[in-house]
Amino acid sequence: MRGPHNLWRLIRTGATLERTGAMRAVMDALDAPRPLRIVLRGVVWPFRWLGYKGDPGMPPATRALSALGPAYIKFGQVLSTRPDVVGDELANQLRVLQDKLPPFSLAEAKRSIETELGVPADDIFMEISEPVAAASIAQVHKARVRDTGEAVAIKVLRPGIERAFRKDIDAFYLAATVIELLGPKARRLRPMDVITHFEGVVMGELDLRLEASSASEFAANTANDEGFTLPEIKWPHSGRRVMTMGWAEGQPMGDNAALDAAGHDRAVLGERVLQLFLNHALRDGFFHADMHQGNLKVAPDGDIIAYDFGIMGHIDEYTRRVYAEILYGFIRKDYKRVAEVHFEAGYVPADQDVDEFARALRAVGEPIFGLDATKVSMGRLLSYLFEVTERFGMETRTELILLQRTMVVVEGVARSLNPQINIWKVAQPVVENYIRQSIGPKALARDLGKTAMVLARFGPRLPGLVEAALIRQALPPEPPATRETWLLWLGAGLSASGGAVAMAALIYLLD
């Protein structure tokens, strides 16, 4: 599928990028070398008239990707989480990419439901609505379960979307190959790795069972979070191409007028959404990575409701501790400790100067903390931090990039609810509580307990594992060349180890 027959698809893509003005923006963002720019523009310019026109009211990149269709829209969304690849300016443009497409018919949706669940849709649901939302991969219908009358949301994949995405992904791989061949300098951006990452994200979203599983895990983690609820997954009515969950009834988080009319305190909501996100990221290490206003509602009782779990972020426990110490160090303006944490975690190579790194971090933190408290941005701080660490040789960490991107989005949600919110004041108790729980005597005792449990499980096998390790050290890297050498080695083994090494050598010889 990744052969030359994809050239026409790439030419059509290039023509659209050129016609919408996105070609220059993309090449600038990728810092593409001049020869590559000349070759690409030389190839696509004669075909410019074949490109889609798109919406002139959009920025060039979002205009082009929206015109090219679902796979390109989703690709733009994924790239918006990777400012380390496309740069901050282009990432910001892609972040507001409109994920809305013309819906497919209700009749097609019912056919998909019947094919997936093995029962006619009208036998399971009643009052199935026309699409209430249509995105690049799926669309949503409101309905009621026939047996219970409960209101539900039914998410259905677009017909043929898997095949369409596969074709476009194959073309993306070809494009990445061309870029690596024609622009050696662009290899630092790892275009093939970027496409592989995109393929993994998309293939996960094309199996709604995985999204349902993420929603279920997220619900289990947050079951005791006050003021936060998730729609319940209806597993009997869900499958690979269909997912059913409880209907989220409430006011859209992005409609301030509706929130005010319903009597909700927007300042409280702004603080809660930020603290919830930090708790999910630090406490659980599993967070909603697409937490914008379009995926949030406010229930009549004031609870925040989240939905659409196609993109979730995961951070291991060690990384969470490092991240929390970094934030806590900045909150206390202890730049030396922030620098030491980076070195202790191995994020910055040991041959760098810790004091010089601390001074660079102070240059990041002081201008931000010198602002009015209501203008201090944690997302901006993390963005600047990554710039500095990159200069000191820190390798890109995808999970932190996703965390930083989501932090920026959540801050935007919080500020849209309350422009005067003090981000650091709201975040401080969450970070301090996590520090107390995860770093200190209690955490040390807990870690030692976990280590003891692991050793207990492997206890009966430990002598054998140690002996096997010693044998591996004693065995020669290559079989001895002659029989006499073997006999000498066996004798040495018998005298040195009471027979264990010799027995291993004999088995090794016979094998």
Query: Any idea where the domains of the chain sit in the sequence?
Result: 4-98+163-203, 105-157+207-247, 250-439, 475-510
Q: Which residue has the higher pLDDT, 258 or 318?
A: 258
Q: Which residues pair with 157 in a beta bridge?
A: 138
Residue 494 is classified by DSSP as H
Is 284 noted as a catalytic residue in this protein?
no
Distance of alpha carbon 486 from alpha carbon 479, whole angstroms? 8
Residues 44, 14 contacting (CB under 8 angstroms): yes
Residues 343, 457 contacting (CB under 8 angstroms): no
Is 98 buried (19+), middle (13-18) or exposed (0-12) by CB count in 10 A?
middle
| The predicted structure's pLDDT at residue 30 | 61
Residues 44, 20 contacting (CB under 8 angstroms): no
* Model pLDDT for residues 344-368, shown as the tens digit of each residue: 888 888 888 999 989 988 887 787 7
| The predicted structure's pLDDT at residue 238 | 95
- Residue whose C-alpha is closest to residue 134's, from 166, 109, 167, 160: 109
Q: Provide the 10 A C-beta neighbour count for residue 390.
A: 12
Residue 123 has pLDDT above 90, yes or no: yes
Residues 309, 280 contacting (CB under 8 angstroms): no
Q: Provide the 10 A C-beta neighbour count for residue 143.
A: 22
Is 105-157+207-247 in CATH node 3.30.200.20? Answer: yes
Residue 217 has pLDDT above 80, yes or no: yes
Mean pLDDT across the stretch 260-273?
94
| The predicted structure's pLDDT at residue 478 | 57
Q: Which residue has the higher pLDDT, 299 or 30?
A: 299
Q: Which residue has the higher pLDDT, 106 or 102?
A: 106
Q: How confident is the model at residue 233 (pLDDT cuts 50, 70, 90)?
A: very high
Q: Which residue has the higher pLDDT, 476 or 19?
A: 19
Residues 320, 282 contacting (CB under 8 angstroms): yes
| The predicted structure's pLDDT at residue 206 | 87
Kindly tell me the sign of the dihedral angle through the C-alpha atoms of 42, 46, 47, 52.
Answer: positive
Mean pLDDT across the stretch 39-45?
67
Tokens of 315: 């951070």
Q: What is the mean pLDDT of the chain?
A: 79
Tokens of 216: 């279920």
Task: Name the percent of the chain lying above pLDDT 90.
Answer: 27
Mean pLDDT across the stretch 174-202?
69
* Model pLDDT for residues 379-391, shown as the tens digit of each residue: 666 667 777 777 7
| The predicted structure's pLDDT at residue 482 | 56
Residue 300 has pLDDT above 80, yes or no: yes
| The predicted structure's pLDDT at residue 375 | 67
Distance of CA 167 to the CA centre of its chain: 23
| The predicted structure's pLDDT at residue 121 | 95
Segment among 191-195, 476-480, 504-508 with least mean pLDDT: 504-508
| The predicted structure's pLDDT at residue 376 | 65
Mean pLDDT across the stretch 222-236?
94
Q: How confident is the model at residue 231 (pLDDT cuts 50, 70, 90)?
A: very high
- Residue whose C-alpha is closest to residue 124's, from 240, 229, 239: 239
Residue 340 has pLDDT above 50, yes or no: yes
Distance of alpha carbon 282 from alpha carbon 318, whole angstroms? 10
**One of 168, 225, 290, 308 is an active-site residue; which one?**
290
Residue 501 has pLDDT above 50, yes or no: no
Task: Name the percent of the chain lying above pLDDT 70.
Answer: 72
Verdict on whether the full-model pTM lies above 0.75: no
- Residue whose C-alpha is closest to residue 75's, from 55, 61, 58: 61
| The predicted structure's pLDDT at residue 84 | 56
| The predicted structure's pLDDT at residue 509 | 44
Contacts of 442 (CB under 8 A, 6+ apart): 436
Residues 41, 23 contacting (CB under 8 angstroms): yes
Mean pLDDT across the stretch 190-201?
74
Distance of alpha carbon 410 from alpha carbon 377, whole angstroms? 11
Residue 155 has pLDDT above 60, yes or no: yes
Distance of CA 2 to the CA centre of its chain: 26
